[in-house]
C-alpha cells in the first residue's frame, strides 16, 4: 500500500495536528494529492484539534501543478464544464481550510508556487524562511488562480499588488512578501520548522473558542465590511462568557495575575 501524499499526525501533542505534504520530487498538485488533501481536511474537521500546522517535505514546498494530468486534458477537449467542476472543488477546499474553527499556521521553507501558496493564504498565519519564494504563475498557461488565492492575497496586500502578483506571474521573495504583509513572519531558513511548530503549538494551547471568535469576526468584516463586523461582534464575543476557558482564565487572573491561565478549549 502506497503512502498518501498528505498525512495528518498529532504525535506527542494531541491538541496540535501537523499536516505534511510529501509527494516527491516536487510536491506537484495532481489527482492523488487533491484527493489526499481533501481527506486530510476532512480529518481536521472531524477530529477538531485545537490548532494545525501545514508543512511540506522536500527541497521545495511545491513546484506547482502537474499540468499534464490536471489541466491539459481539459484544455485539449475544450471541456468548460469539467474545468468549472474542478475549480469548484478547489475553491471549496480552500474555503474549508479557511473556515477551520481553530488557528492554522503554514510553514514555507522554500519555493511555494500556485496551489501551495493558495493553501498558505487560506491559513491564518504564514511563516517563511529567508530563501523561500512565492508565485501564482497560472497566467503562464492561460489560467488564473482558482483556490481562492487571488482574493485572499488581495485581502492581505490590496488589489493593486494582488493584480501585479498574479498578472505578472512572477516569483517574489520572502522579504518582499513580508514587507507587503503577505507573509506574517520571516525567519532564518534553519528556524522555519522550529518557529512554525512553536507558534502553532502556542496557539493550540490558547483559548480555542476565543481564537475561533476572532476568525469569525474577521470573516464578517471580509464579507460585509466594518458595519457588519460591528453588528455581529457582541453576539460572537458575548458567547465566550459561556465557556469554561473564560471562567477559568478570569479566576486565574484574580488569583495569580496576568498570563498564568491555562486553557482546555472548552
- Considering the domain architecture, whether residues 25 and 150 belong to the same structural domain is answered as yes
Q: Is 224 within a domain?
A: yes
Look up the domain containing 190 and give its range: 6-204
pLDDT tens per residue across span 6-15: 999 987 778 9
CB 146 within 8 A of CB 87: yes
- Considering the domain architecture, whether residues 221 and 134 belong to the same structural domain is answered as no
pLDDT tens per residue across span 96-141: 999 999 999 999 999 999 999 999 999 999 999 999 999 999 999 9
pLDDT tens per residue across span 73-102: 999 999 999 999 999 999 999 999 999 999
Tell me which DSSP letter residue 72 carries: H
- Considering the domain architecture, whether residues 218 and 90 belong to the same structural domain is answered as no
How far apart are alpha carbons 51 and 246 in whole angstroms? 18
Q: Is 263 within a domain?
A: no
- Considering the domain architecture, whether residues 138 and 242 belong to the same structural domain is answered as no
The predicted model gives 10-27 an average pLDDT of 92
- Considering the domain architecture, whether residues 113 and 216 belong to the same structural domain is answered as no
pLDDT number for residue 200: 97
pLDDT exceeds cutoff 80 at 248? yes
pLDDT exceeds cutoff 80 at 72? yes
pLDDT tens per residue across span 208-224: 999 999 999 999 999 99
Query: Is pLDDT larger for residue 252 or for residue 151?
Result: 151
- Considering the domain architecture, whether residues 136 and 167 belong to the same structural domain is answered as yes
The predicted model gives 170-176 an average pLDDT of 97
User: Which active-site residues does the annotation give?
Assistant: 118, 138
pLDDT number for residue 124: 98
pLDDT number for residue 1: 54
Per the structure, the count of domains in the chain is: 2
In sequence order, which ranges of the chain are alpha helices (DSSP H)?
Answer: 31-47, 67-70, 72-76, 80-98, 115-122, 149-157, 159-168, 174-180, 192-204, 208-238, 244-256
Q: Is 262 within a domain?
A: no
Could you tell me whether strands 51-56 and 111-113 are parallel, antiparallel, or unpaired per DSSP bridges? unpaired
Domain CATH code at residue 129: 3.90.226.10
Q: Is 121 within a domain?
A: yes
pLDDT exceeds cutoff 90 at 258? no
Q: Is 32 within a domain?
A: yes
pLDDT tens per residue across span 35-61: 999 999 999 999 999 999 999 999 999
Q: Which three cell numbers stand for residue 71?
A: 489541466
Phi and psi at residue 245, in whole multiples of 5°?
-60, -45
At 255, the pLDDT band (50, 70, 90 cuts) reads confident
Predicted TM-score (pTM) of this structure: 0.95
Q: What is the mean pLDDT of the chain?
A: 95
- Considering the domain architecture, whether residues 58 and 186 belong to the same structural domain is answered as yes
Amino acid at each position: 500500500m502506497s503512502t498518501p501524499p498528505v498525512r495528518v499526525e498529532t504525535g506527542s501533542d494531541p491538541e496540535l495536528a501537523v499536516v505534511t505534504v510529501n509527494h516527491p520530487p516536487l510536491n506537484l498538485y495532481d489527482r492523488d494529492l487533491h484527493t489526499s488533501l481533501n481527506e486530510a481536511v476532512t480529518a481536521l474537521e472531524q477530529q477538531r484539534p485545537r490548532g494545525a500546522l501545514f508543512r511540506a517535505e522536500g527541497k521545495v514546498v511545491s513546484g506547482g501543478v502537474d499540468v499534464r494530468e490536471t489541466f491539459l486534458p481539459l484544455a485539449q477537449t475544450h471541456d468548460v464544464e469539467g474545468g468549472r467542476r474542478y475549480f469548484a472543488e478547489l475553491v471549496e477546499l480552500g474555503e474549508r481550510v479557511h473556515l477551520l474553527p481553530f488557528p492554522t499556521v503554514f510553514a514555507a521553507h522554500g519555493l511555494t508556487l500556485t496551489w501551495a501558496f493558495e493553501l498558505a493564504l487560506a491559513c491564518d498565519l504564514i511563516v517563511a524562511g529567508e530563501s523561500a519564494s512565492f508565485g501564482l504563475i497560472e497566467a503562464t498557461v492561460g489560467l488564473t488562480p482558482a483556490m481562492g488565492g487571488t482574493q485572499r492575497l488581495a485581502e492581505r496586500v490590496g488589489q493593486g499588488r494582488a493584480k501585479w502578483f498574479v498578472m505578472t506571474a512572477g516569483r517574489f521573495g520572502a522579504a518582499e512578501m513580508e514587507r507587503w504583509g503577505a507573509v506574517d513572519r520571516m525567519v532564518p531558513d534553519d528556524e522555519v520548522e522550529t518557529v512554525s511548530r512553536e507558534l502553532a503549538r502556542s496557539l493550540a494551547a490558547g483559548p480555542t473558542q476565543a481564537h475561533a471568535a476572532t476568525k469569525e469576526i474577521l470573516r464578517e468584516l471580509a464579507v460585509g465590511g466594518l458595519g457588519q463586523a460591528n453588528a455581529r461582534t457582541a453576539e460572537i464575543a458575548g458567547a465566550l462568557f459561556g465557556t469554561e476557558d473564560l471562567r477559568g482564565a478570569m479566576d486565574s487572573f484574580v488569583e495569580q495575575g496576568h498570563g498564568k491561565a491555562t486553557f482546555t478549549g472548552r
